[in-house]
Chains A and B, each alone.
Chain A
Amino acid sequence: IKLISDAGYQGEITSVSTACHQIEVFSRVLRTSISSFLEGGEEAIEKNLQEFTKMVCHGEHTYLYSQVLMHILAQEPKGGFNIKRLCQELQKCANEKGLEITPITMALSGAAAYPRACQALSSMLSRQALNPADITVLYKMYSEADPPPVDLIRVPSFLNLLIDTLFRPPSRVNPDHKSKYMYLLAYAASVVDILKKGGRKSVNKEELKPTIQALEKTQSLCTENKASSELIADVGTLFQCLKFPVVSMGVLKWVDHTVSEPSYFKLNTDHTPIHLVLVDEIATNHILLHQKALDLLIRLFEGSYEELDVLVRLELKKKLLDRMVHLFSGGCVIPVVSYIRKCQDTQDTDISLIRYFVTEVLDVIAPPYTSDFIHLFLPLIENKDITGSIKSEDGTDPVSEFIVHCKTNYIVN
């Protein structure tokens, strides 16, 4: 195996235990894998993460070694954040496998310099649950004049726990402590440590107060358990608050929970439910939340809704497709069209719905197009089952015009 590795054929070493046995071989396989993520980006995470996790999590020693190596790379000022993401994806997968990785995460985070904060965080992270005592410790430290670095609490799993506790109904936070939860969440979302020569020069808290206020307003609206008709008056306020990414994350969590109630769409059939319009607004404001919003819409789109009449069900799915077209028009192009292509390929979606999506898209787009988009979209357009009925004989319809435009201006296979 070492000879194969020495000769540079890391890709040939496919057995995990073989790759992990010798540290030299493991290091090289690790190098090959990390390079492939650096080349492939988000798509590579989607495709290769599972296999990568299997190798890294083979043993606690391989996990520690990989995290140490990547931690060093993540400190690089240029592009280090790409590697940091990989570290986090691995942490997430290891957690899901039930592996106890918190001590390694904490030992690498620099939290040791703040033993009290470190202890409070570790206890919550390893139990995956928040508690008022540990939150109070952190709250006190972060309200003092010389707070610990913000990075210590800017940890995705901790932020997710805060969002979950505050926004997933029914929120059961003790009212005496609620403001501390919100303070810490807003602190992590808004404060910037200004660094100079490796040390901290100052702490910029300018956005802390408005972020807390937006969180407070939204959280109280979300927990009042109002019906859609009562919420209407608050839409303006909600839209203002959604400009803060952390508020949008909370609202997405709340919407997800609210619309997943079995009776939700049964009770909201006459218009587009207000909660879905909030998803539109989140997509408009935050490119980084596009995928999360799309994931939610896909889950809703794939729901069976057997309690609804067939036609009502189709109408609901069209409303969900309108949301996807909204995401598409806001720049989430490839993921949305790829999903619809998948629906077409697996043939489990009513063809009239795919036709509806195509029509709506053609209605809003104009050239110039990228070739990536054309290659993904053209097969939907050229499928006679989808577009046959919306083409006119004289070729002046949007479908024919799109095909002609592509054939004239692009090399299409």
Chain B
Amino acid sequence: MAAGDTALWLHNKLGSTDDLWSGRTICSQLSQERLQSIQECFHTLQPHVKVKLLLAFLHMPRRNTEQWKADLEEILSMAENDSDPWVTMVAEMLRMYPSTGTVNLDLDEVSGTFADVITDLKKMMKKSLETRMLPLECQFVNRSALNSIAGHSAQPIKHFTLKRKPKSATLKRELLQKSNEVSNNRKNN
């Protein structure tokens, strides 16, 4: 396919600014030839089309990313030098993706703002050690695993003194008693 046709195809597929999650829709139609054709027209694409194209890489079957690694990396390196900051950032995040399947986390040098935000938030985290928004898996895990995830928990706030147990305590006692009787009867019979 000629570079102009590829650009038009990408524009038709990814040109909408209403749906910014549509990158993956082109995955099944990518091939090595098409990726090479994309390299020729990449500079002519609109920034949001470039961004969506790069994000499509994440949705490709792993065997394809490995097979077309060189072409994907070529497109990523063109994108790393793009004038649009979003295009550059997405390319930097995906820089290692074709070879390792992981996201690049070393972004401080790429964007000063990113580095500043990380520094500020780390300071903020140190100030808010009292906050306990526990990860959702904590609900499932035994105490020793919980301690390995979130450290030892602080004592909950005591809002009052409990002067006697609520009705539920009697109910539990009665139920356990009944349960014992029934299971003893079963054993005896």
Contact = CB atoms under 8 A, between A and B. Distances in A.
Interface of A: 22-24, 27-28, 30-31, 34-35, 37-39, 41-42, 45, 58-62, 64-65, 68-69, 71-73, 76, 78-86, 88-89, 92, 99-100, 103-104, 106-108, 110, 112, 115, 118-119, 150, 154-156, 159, 163, 188-193, 204, 207, 211, 232-236, 239, 244-246, 249, 272, 274, 277, 280-281, 286-289, 292, 322-323, 325-326, 328-329, 331, 333-334, 360, 363-370, 372-373
B152 interface: no
A360 B167 contact: yes
B131 A366 contact: no
The residue among B102, B137, B138 with the most chain A CB atoms within 10 A of its own CB is B137
The residue among A80, A107, A274 with the most chain B CB atoms within 10 A of its own CB is A107
B128 A272 contact: no
B141 A364 contact: no
A207 B144 contact: yes
B128 A39 contact: yes
B114 interface: yes
Contacts of B186: 233
B162 A364 contact: yes
A136 to B, nearest CB: 20
9 contacts: A30-B117, A35-B124, A61-B90, A76-B122, A78-B125, A81-B133, A81-B149, A107-B58, A232-B175
B61 to A, nearest CB: 10
B120 interface: yes
Q: Is the interface of B mostly helix, strand, loop or mixed?
A: helix
Contacts of A367: 160-161
A286 B101 CA distance: 38
Contact of B159 (A22, A323, A372): A372
Contacts of A368: 160-161
B140 A281 contact: no
Given A27-B117, A107-B101, A246 B140 contact: yes
B164 A364 contact: yes
Interface string B125-150: 11111011111111111101100111
Nearest to B178: A232
Contact of B121 (A23, A31, A155): A31
A107 B128 contact: no
Interface stretch (B2-10, B17-25, B28-36, B37-45): B17-25
Given A68-B107, A82-B125, A190 B145 contact: yes
A99 B101 CA distance: 20
- Of all A-B residue pairs in the complex, the 9 with the closest CB atoms, nearest first, are A59-B20, A112-B101, A326-B168, A156-B136, A235-B179, A366-B163, A373-B159, A233-B183, A103-B58
A325 B167 contact: yes
B83 interface: no
A374 to B, nearest CB: 9
Given A24-B85, A64-B93, A79-B131, A364 B165 contact: yes
Contacts of B144: 190, 192, 204, 207
A263 B34 CA distance: 61
Contact of A363 (B59, B93, B164, B168): B164
A288 B132 CA distance: 11
A107 B111 CA distance: 21
Interface in B164-185: 164-168, 171-172, 175-176, 178-180, 182-183
Given A64-B90, A280-B168, A104 B182 contact: no
Given A61-B20, A245-B139, 13 more contacts: A27-B113, A38-B127, A61-B90, A69-B118, A79-B125, A79-B131, A81-B133, A154-B137, A154-B140, A189-B140, A245-B141, A277-B175, A363-B164
The residue among B100, B129, B133, B145 with the most chain A CB atoms within 10 A of its own CB is B133
B137 to A, nearest CB: 5
A371 to B, nearest CB: 10
Given A64-B55, A365-B162, A233 B179 contact: yes
A36 B162 CA distance: 34
Contact of A108 (B103, B150, B178): B103
A34 B165 CA distance: 40
A192 B145 contact: yes
Contact of A60 (B20, B157, B168, B179): B20
B89 interface: yes
Contact of B142 (A59, A81, A86, A211): A211
Contacts of A23: 85-86, 89, 111, 113
A38 to B, nearest CB: 4
Contact of A365 (B100, B137, B160): B160
B133 A45 contact: yes
A39 B21 CA distance: 31
Contacts of B175: 232, 235, 274, 277
Contacts of B113: 23-24, 27-28
Nearest to A246: B140
